[in-house]
Structure 1
Amino acid sequence: MKLRIKNILWGILLFLFFSFLLVFFLFLFYAKDLPRPEFFTEKATVQSTKIYDKTGKILLYEVFGEERRTYVPLSLVPDYLKKAVLVAEDANFYYHHGIDFKGILRAFIENLKLGAPVYGGSTISQQLIRSTFLSTKKSIDRKIKEIILTLELERRYSKDQILEWYLNQIPFGQNAYGVEAASQIYFKKSVSEINLAEAATLAALIKAPYRYSPYDENGKKELLARKNYILKKMLEKGFISQKEYEESLNYQLSFAPKKIEIKAPYFTLWVLNQLEEKFSKEYLAKAGLKVYTTLDWNLQQIAEKVLAEGIEKNKKFNAFNGAILAISPKTGEVLAMSVGNGDYFADPYPPECKEGIDCLFDPKFNVIVGTKNYRGRQPGSAFKPFVYATAFSKGFSDKDIVIDEPTNFGIWGGKEYIPQNYDGKFRGPVTLREALAQSLNVPSVKVLLSMAGLEDSVKTAQALGITTLKGPFGPSIVLGGWEVLPLEITAAYGVFANDGYRNLPFAIWKIEDSQGNVIFEQKISPVKVLESKVARMINDILSDNEARTPAFGENSPLYFEGYQVAVKTGTTQDYRDAWTIGYTPSIVVGVWVGNNNNEPIEKKPGVMIAAPIFHQFLEKVLPTLGNETFPKVEN
């Protein structure tokens, strides 16, 4: 009998021993899969790339893939959000060791009462392990691994560290992962700025983010009900006062609209194209880069407003599109850029048109920078300053005389070339100053052919930054018969403003990685491409209101009382394009008006269609720039 009892005891001991060994080896086997702590922070650095204005304060756009994430330390998470999450997901978080057996039992009983699986028994630590390392496939192996990894996680790391990782890992719907991304998407504010009601709402989303979506009518009702339940639990646990509870219960939540959030879309998407040339789309979506652009948000808002208003007025002239661009001639920074009404997601016009083919207005096309095969728009008389600059560089003076008279310039392109002035009149002997200031066509062709030279004028334009000119060339180039990009011709005028120094236009100042290390920074490298005396002569003529008055009037939109502004208009011969480009030493602004499908506008010059937009913009901007004047012309 004693021997039998002894054998049974030995059997039990052996069973326990081998069971212990089995559990021990299982623990070792699965625990080895728990990575080092750096994994959590490395995973957290799968963050969206953010594009900012030049101050770094205005977020223009966020580039994200399947996961939109911004990591924040626990210290920046409001205390009431932490408590709301604990109440909603794991009230005993700070008291258990990873597995809350009491919580599992309590959830089981509550679910039996309700007849549905309403309450979960998983702890925050379990949820973190599950969402980070395990597949969604349910199995015994997966559950064993979950328990072992959870226990090992709790053994290795502090509760606060686990909570921080959890708050940056969990999904909230709408591609938002972590509390910071969720706060930005749903409330358009940082998580450190949300109030108690908003915090309880975020905590409510964790359980079932798609079921509780605020963008679904039924989902929103369930979300608000769960938010109120969480607030009640916080009150019961003494986390909030009765007053805070009632205020948060009655607080009217305002959810951000569910749409693509992008500011200054034409500029920002241009920046994005440049980023995609440097980095892959996949990398941008997860690298957490901070891109600081050149955009001046104040100027951008002015540009969008005046352009949209101007286009609305120009519809009576059959002009349905337009563009505005502002650049700093001293650096090349693109300060503002807008097309159409500023809404990239607007409907094309007319409604039945095919985008990219026959639309008067195509919101998806950026006429300023275009696409790879886009050579731009014809600049009309806005090209003339390059020809006159070439003549001045060869020693001709603004006082030299040309005769404005009917002239046959011979056979060009298979037919006689006999240009006319904009008003059909001829003025006889005029100085080069008068010819350029009043934009006279016949004298300008004479300057091109007899003083500047056709090929040399093209070389001047190219030296100033215009790349789209393709030969063979003819005399109509001085009247803008060849295409240019609005970006390039506006920047080229900046050479005049900058005393002959060229700064190529750029949009990205600096790029930082997710750790704040600078991985790209724009260098300003001005290149002397035009003699200062030539640039100063062009500035002096284009800002000479008296010289242009016979053609434009004394108080035209080209004149700014108290400021020295050099301006040139342009209208193509067939009235498909209207331009105004002007500048001070501090800023150069280009405005184009026309139609995407190249349909002619009404026969109105650029001074009537593009110049009012130019004037409205610069009138608002000049007082903020200081009253800087051009260097004097040397005798």
Structure 2
Amino acid sequence: MEEEPRIGGVFGAIAGLLGMSVIAGALVAALGMPAIAVSTGAASSAAGYWDVLPDYITIGEQSNRTRIFATQNGEPVQIATIFEQNREEVAYEGISENVLNAAIAAEDPNFWEHNGVYLPSLLRATAEVLADRDDAGGSTITMQLVRNELVAESQRYLQSDPELAERLFTEATETTPARKLQEVRYAIALEKEYSKEQILGAYLNIATFGNNLYGIQTAAHYYFGVDASELDVNQSAALLAIVQSPNALRLDVEENLQRNDVRRGYILDNMADEGMITAEEAAALKPERPALNIQQVQNGCMASRLPWICDYVRNTVEQDEAFGENAAERRAEFRHGGYDIYTTIDVDVQERAQQIMQDRAPATAEGYDLGAASSGVEPGTGRIQYMVQNRALDASENAAPGTTALNYNADRWMGGSSGFQSGSTYKAFVLLEWLQEGHSLDDNLDSRRRAFTDFHASCQPGSMEPWDPKNFTTQPDRMNVRYATTNSSNTGYAAMAEQLDLCGIRDMAQSLGVHRADGRDLEFYAPTILGTNEIAPLTLAAAFAGIAAEGRYCDPIIIDRVERDGEEIERPDANCRQAFDPQVADVAIGALQDVYNGTGRQARPSGGTPVFAKTGTADDYRQSWIAAASSKMATASWVGNVTGGENGQNLSRASINGSSARLVSHYFSRDMLSYSNERFGGDAWPAAGPRVVQSAQPGAPAGPELQQGVVPDLAGLTADEAGPLLDSLGFSMVVGEPVNSGYSAGRISFTNPAAGSSAPEGTPVTVYASNGVPRS
């Protein structure tokens, strides 16, 4: 066993060192002890220097791990650990007596008797300093705590002021008589302010145990898989051995073990000398190396169970002033602050959504730069229910294929991209503004393909540019608003926009939290009604949650509760408010439910839960969307090109898992809402009064008053049989694309408007015949 250095000969060496009398004089004056080979003059002159040194230091709050939780089976489940220093603090009462004894035996046998400084050891250490050698071994536990506190203080400025952090670190660790004297001054002050138990507990919480492990609780968990309260004598000695030289004596490196054994043996012998254990116990324990049970702790969002949730929480903390005055401070607090953050996420919902995403949208597709993302938000609360995408989180410099550092669901300032054109999902806000202004679903529209010129924007005086939109499919020249919504008629909605204020449409969207993901102002010229603004999926999901909550919009939130040191602290608020008339929402929802009979038919979820939706595509099918909701969950699902602009491929020309890529978002929405409906159910929305349902409004195209009719049930008929019947009732017929159905090929499966619906004469009724393939 290696021998520890002894004090013998120290005073003789000190006497010959330049300047020793001044340092020793200061110590003698401070400690009130008899001078040993020090003149009264030296002590007197040193006292003046001593009196001007700072004498105030506190035991600061140490850098702690931030933990992020989700819920599973109603209980919190930790999904991520974030730390700059891996530390889990523990109260003095939670530390085994074996640890307390081992610390004192290893570092400071006179701990309970001295006032922060033990003069013989200090004089030896001062001699080492003056001889330009390491001063290790001469400091009491209190003095070591002082040094560690000063180092920790310097690290708090790493993010906000790196130069200050470096200067403070140097001052705390430099080997100079002045630094040693200051350490003594602080140690004495610390002993006056705190109890011995507080000092010893703080020391064991700040001590380093190798491998970025700080504090005895963290070390106990990592090396042995137990709490600090459960450590036995041999484990305690092995851990306290590490403190002397953390990198050289850490227990998880094979070549360190023999050196750790030597130091552990020394500590056990000291414990025997101090009467903490018997000599026989020490002798028996020294050959028995304690068995390791290494428990790895994964640090950071990339190692999280739910990486994108962790990443969004991190960005939430960095952006919200509840966590600090500026971004640098908030970033530091996230990694140092010891938060327990409880999210809105249910693990089962998140993992089910991620599995559906993996099944529907692979991270890599040959010849195609495919991106896909979906978010779910709870109507009426804004609580984010899930957030998934097809690419894994990898923020490293050499990211693997099929990964990304961007959260496609989020805004740019929340770790996302600049967003994606939302396509015709934006028509939902045009519809709401139409109804809010007193128009009706039954208003007749001149939907002919032409240049539309009569646009108005009150917030931007002057004429708006003419616009000549086209439809993706053949559309009738006249239609009502319900039909235009179900079939996503671009010309029909252009006719609606001519009768509205474009700024009012923008304002309606903004009332539901809609904003551009790149931070620019929401645009409002005529083509924006078809979704040219670039929006993040989470934004659209939150907006549809507002519609589902009958106009009550809440900002999307991912944090339910935040605790620090057991105390709940402020968290971001959902800021819920009523955006528009609930009756308007009820009528709009009725129209949007019919979308499942039109452009959203492949996205219809299973079960009888009431749902509504709006589909959307961007120019040349580069992006495809569907936003949908029940009363319990609102979702927005996007699939499209990660490569933006003109480089993006046409989704309708790409095949993913045997289906058109443009339908991937539809299939995801169908599967996710089917799961939601089965798990959470959902309520029907109230039927709206007639004010915004059937009353024709001024500004609709002039013509004779239209009579109402009832759409017949055409299921099982052929188109040739249905056409004359519809004509006889005053309707016209449009043939839609064949669909999967239980009917034989060529037989009508359903219509839009649906059978039994009331509709004005002349309304086109789209018939959807079976393609002969049963619906899965």
TM range (shorter): 0.7 to 0.9
Q: How does 1:213-232 map to 2 (within 5 A)?
A: 218=255, 221=257
Q: Kindly state the Cα deviation for residue 407 of structure 1 after the two structures are TM-superposed.
A: 2.0
1:444-502 Cα offsets, whole Å, 9 max, x none, are 333434x556444333223322233654612x433323322333322221221111122
User: Is structure 2 residue 635 aligned with structure 1 residue 589?
Assistant: yes
1:498-546 Cα offsets, whole Å, 9 max, x none, are 111222334455666768374x3555543322221221122223334xx
1:462 match: 510
> SS of 1:323's equivalent?
strand
1:266 match: 311
> SS of 1:210's equivalent?
helix
Specify whether residues 463 and 600 from structure 1 end up closer, same or farther in structure 2 by C-alpha distance, changes over 3 A only. Answer: same
User: Is structure 2 residue 100 aligned with structure 1 residue 82?
Assistant: yes
- Where in structure 1 are there 5+ consecutive unaligned residues? 1-13, 108-116, 352-359
Specify whether residues 548 and 209 from structure 1 end up closer, same or farther in structure 2 by C-alpha distance, changes over 3 A only. Answer: same
1:432 match: 481
Measured in 2, the distance between the counterparts of 1:592 and 1:47 equals: 40
> SS of 1:211's equivalent?
helix
**One-letter identity of the residue aligned with 2:94:** L
Instruction: Say whether the 8 Å CA contact 2:142–2:199 is kept in structure 1.
Output: yes
**One-letter identity of the residue aligned with 2:361:** I
Q: Kindly state the Cα deviation for residue 196 of structure 1 after the two structures are TM-superposed.
A: 8.4
User: Is structure 2 residue 398 aligned with structure 1 residue 381?
Assistant: no
Measured in 1, the distance between the counterparts of 2:684 and 2:235 equals: 53
Q: 1:288 aligns with which of 337, 343, 352?
A: 337
Q: Tell me the C-alpha RMSD between the 2 structures.
A: 5.0
Measured in 1, the distance between the counterparts of 2:120 and 2:37 equals: 28
2:585 match: 535
Q: How does 1:122-521 map to 2 (within 5 A)?
A: 122-132=139-149, 135-139=172-176, 158-173=195-210, 176-180=213-217, 202-212=239-249, 218=255, 221=257, 238=277, 249-257=290-298, 263=307, 264-275=309-320, 278-280=324-326, 283-284=329-330, 285=332, 288=337, 290=339, 292=341, 294-298=343-347, 299-312=349-362, 315=365, 318-345=368-395, 362-364=404-406, 366=408, 368-371=410-413, 376-402=419-445, 407-409=449-451, 417-421=468-472, 424-426=473-475, 431-449=480-498, 452=500, 454-468=502-516, 470-471=522-523, 473-474=525-526, 476-507=527-558, 516=567, 518=569, 520-521=570-571
- Where in structure 2 are there 5+ consecutive unaligned residues? 1-33, 126-133, 151-170, 456-463, 655-659, 691-776
Instruction: Say whether the 8 Å CA contact 1:52–1:59 is kept in structure 2.
Output: yes
Measured in 1, the distance between the counterparts of 2:568 and 2:491 equals: 58
Specify whether residues 499 and 489 from structure 1 end up closer, same or farther in structure 2 by C-alpha distance, changes over 3 A only. Answer: same
Structure showing greater relative contact order (alpha-carbon pairs closer than 8 Å, 6 or more residues apart): 1
1:413-436 Cα offsets, whole Å, 9 max, x none, are 989725123xx3446765533432
Specify whether residues 194 and 409 from structure 1 end up closer, same or farther in structure 2 by C-alpha distance, changes over 3 A only. Answer: farther
Specify whether residues 344 and 568 from structure 1 end up closer, same or farther in structure 2 by C-alpha distance, changes over 3 A only. Answer: farther
1:139-193 Cα offsets, whole Å, 9 max, x none, are 5565566667767766875432321121123234555543356568889997568
- Report the structure number with the largest CA radius of gyration: 2
> SS of 1:582's equivalent?
strand
**One-letter identity of the residue aligned with 2:312:** F
Q: How many residues align?
A: 588
Q: 2:66 aligns with which of 32, 43, 50?
A: 50
**One-letter identity of the residue aligned with 2:689:** E
1:318-356 Cα offsets, whole Å, 9 max, x none, are 2522222222331223343344434243678896xxxxx
Q: Kindly state the Cα deviation for residue 297 of structure 1 after the two structures are TM-superposed.
A: 4.6
Specify whether residues 391 and 57 from structure 1 end up closer, same or farther in structure 2 by C-alpha distance, changes over 3 A only. Answer: same
Instruction: Say whether the 8 Å CA contact 1:196–1:248 is kept in structure 2.
Output: no
Measured in 2, the distance between the counterparts of 1:565 and 1:223 equals: 68
Specify whether residues 247 and 558 from structure 1 end up closer, same or farther in structure 2 by C-alpha distance, changes over 3 A only. Answer: farther
Instruction: Say whether the 8 Å CA contact 2:422–2:535 is kept in structure 1.
Output: yes
2:91 match: 73
Specify whether residues 15 and 327 from structure 1 end up closer, same or farther in structure 2 by C-alpha distance, changes over 3 A only. Answer: closer
Structure 1 window deviating more from structure 2 (608-617 vs 236-245): it is: 236-245
Measured in 2, the distance between the counterparts of 1:611 and 1:316 equals: 21
Instruction: Say whether the 8 Å CA contact 2:554–2:574 is kept in structure 1.
Output: yes
Q: Kindly state the Cα deviation for residue 271 of structure 1 after the two structures are TM-superposed.
A: 0.9
Instruction: Say whether the 8 Å CA contact 2:268–2:282 is kept in structure 1.
Output: no
Measured in 2, the distance between the counterparts of 1:505 and 1:251 equals: 45
TM-score by length of 1: 0.74
Instruction: Say whether the 8 Å CA contact 1:557–1:607 is kept in structure 2.
Output: no
Instruction: Say whether the 8 Å CA contact 1:501–1:528 is kept in structure 2.
Output: yes
